[in-house]
Amino acid sequence: MLMMVFVLSQRDANAQSLQVSPELKELIELSVVKDYKVADKIIDRQIIETQRKAVRSAYIPKLELGGKYLYASTAIDSRFGEISGFESISKLQDFMANPAFPAMFPNLAGLSNEIIQLQQFLGQQGMQLPSLTKELNGTLNGNYYGVDASANMLLFSGGQVPNVSKALSQKIIAQEALTDKCTSDVISEVISTYDQLALLNQSKQVLDESSVRLNAEKKYASSALKNGFATLYDSLKIAVAEASLQAKQSEYESKKTLLNQKLAQLTGKPSGSFEMLTPDLQPLIYNKTSSDIANRPELRALSAGVEARKFMLKSEKSHYLPKVQALATARYDNIFNATADFSAPMSMGMEISNITMGPTLMVGVGFKWEIFNMSGGSSKVRQANLELKKAENAREEAREQLLLNQTKVSTSYQAALMQVAYKEKQRQAAFMALDLARKSYNQGMINITERLAAETEMQNAELEYLQAVFAQRQSAIECYKATGDLVLSKIR
């Protein structure tokens, strides 16, 4: 009968969703929102999204503005080599010294004589006309300030920026899958805790029913003792059974307190709010739609990781392509309140009030091309290849493990179904045996020991049935996890 109910329920149930009570669904949603591991995975995803945006921002123009003021003092000491370009001047001097020069250029001859006389006069006074040397000696002191602005924009990254961006997009997908994994674990833990609470509540009901029956037997034994139909030993046996029930009830109460506290930790609600919960423990049907594990979050995360490694490999392989960027600069320079003193190539000094340079504008395109880089590019490509192979190995190993796990949980689920059916029949038999023992004891056909043994057997059969249902529900949850279907979107 029970198996027929399973078949009918399985045929009519939604093949894509897990049916739970509204009360349990609320607890699941609260727990997922509160769980710290889920929150951490969401933060990890946001971090990678921020990194991806930072990579894409490489194409956004960058503007820089700078300026500086300084006081400079420097000594100049240089020596020149041969100076060309003044050969004609020395030849002119030789020509003017030629005796034929006055006859050919009478007007200039007087000037030449005047220059010679000037040199002689200056020589007598200890002075001479300036002469150039091959040295440059002196000092320069002054103030400087400048302002510069620049803008540059990446035009072509050699394929590195788009490939790194795609790799980070795959990492975001992996983080989303890992978030689903944490969510699945939270859902499983909440359902398990809720089912344990249901198991305790229904176990308490079984014990309460046994207590009622024992109280009736206690009154019957007391009356029989007065009439000589029972002994003190019979009353003592009932008292021992009653004490055993009270001990079990106390144990279940302490477990319930602990479970209420755990639900409070999972959901963030106060533990006192769970005191009135009366969950019902019923078999949970797993609606097997396919044996595909591709939706398993661990496998999705590893597959996204493999794709990310592929894009990183493409990025490293493109390192040899040129990087091109547009640039523009504008600068303004000013030297003021400066002095310059030279002892060579001629003795002179000057004061500089202001020298302005700019604004100077430059606009153009630049590129950088790594023609050969064995220590950088090639080694990074080899490393990226090895990391890709490692990621592929991890994915295949996980696939094999998940397939094995799916087979394990599927067979465990079928065994749990059969165990529930077996415990149901055992419970029915124990109930019939208890009813027969009660009637036989009232008619004096059996003693109190046999009567209490039937009661104990009934208790055990009821509790074992509830344990079997609990185990069956956990097996069903594991089946949903095995195919990646234990997610919020599929909780109904």
DSSP for 73-105 reads EEEEEEE-----S-HHHHHHHHHHTSTHHHHH-
For residue range 144-176, list pLDDT tens digits in order.
889 999 988 887 777 788 888 899 999 999 999
Q: Which residue has the higher pLDDT, 389 or 110?
A: 389
Give the range with max mean pLDDT: 124-128, 284-288, 382-386. Answer: 382-386
By C-alpha distance, which of 277, 217, 276, 278 is closest to 245?
217
- Residue 366 is predicted with a pLDDT of 79
- Residue 6 is predicted with a pLDDT of 38
pLDDT for 119 beyond 70: no
For residue range 42-62, list pLDDT tens digits in order.
999 999 999 998 888 888 888
- Give the three-class secondary structure for 365: strand
pLDDT for 14 beyond 50: no
- Provide the pLDDT confidence category of residue 293 given band limits of 50, 70 and 90: confident
Residues 6+ apart with CB under 8 A from 271: 257, 260, 261, 263, 264
In total, the chain counts a number of residues equal to: 492
20 vs 133: CA distance, rounded Å: 103
The separation between CA 178 and the C-alpha centre of its own chain, rounded to angstroms, equals 9
Pair of tokens at residue 375? 């220590």
What are φ and ψ of residue 133, in 5° steps?
-120, 175
Residues 6+ apart with CB under 8 A from 35: 182, 183, 186, 266
Average pLDDT over residues 8-12: 39
Model pTM score: 0.73
275 and 257 in contact (C-beta within 8 Å)?
Answer: no
User: C-alpha angle 342/348/352, rounded to 5°?
Assistant: 85
- DSSP codes joined into one string, 421-477: HHHHHHHHHHHHHHHHHHHHHHTTSS-HHHHHHHHHHHHHHHHHHHHHHHHHHHHHH
Q: Is 308 exposed, middle or buried (0-12, 13-18, 19+ CB in 10 A)?
A: buried
Average pLDDT over residues 10-35: 78
Q: Which residue has the higher pLDDT, 92 or 385?
A: 385
- Residue 278 is predicted with a pLDDT of 82
- Mean pLDDT (the chain) is 81
- Residue 205 is predicted with a pLDDT of 83
- Residue 382 is predicted with a pLDDT of 87
224 vs 217: CA distance, rounded Å: 10
Q: Which helix (H) or strand (E) holds 164?
A: helix 160-226
CATH of 2-60+159-316+375-490, one of 1.10.3720.10, 3.20.20.150, 1.20.1600.10, 1.10.10.10: 1.20.1600.10
- Residue 109 is predicted with a pLDDT of 57
By C-alpha distance, which of 314, 306, 31 is closest to 173?
306
Q: Which of 89-93, 434-438, 451-455 has the lowest mean pLDDT?
A: 89-93
CATH 1.20.1600.10 positions along the chain are 2-60+159-316+375-490
pLDDT for 192 beyond 90: yes
- DSSP codes joined into one string, 303-357: HHHHHHHHHHHHHHHGGGS-EEEEEEEEEEEEEEEEEEEEEESS-EEEEEEEEEE
Give the range with max mean pLDDT: 130-144, 169-183, 226-240, 310-324. Answer: 169-183
- Residue 193 is predicted with a pLDDT of 93
CB count within 10 Å of CB 2 equals 14
For residue range 229-276, list pLDDT tens digits in order.
555 666 667 777 778 777 877 777 788 889 999 999 999 999 888 888
- Give the three-class secondary structure for 270: coil
381 and 444 in contact (C-beta within 8 Å)?
Answer: no
- Provide the pLDDT confidence category of residue 466 given band limits of 50, 70 and 90: very high
pLDDT for 225 beyond 50: yes
346 vs 350: CA distance, rounded Å: 13
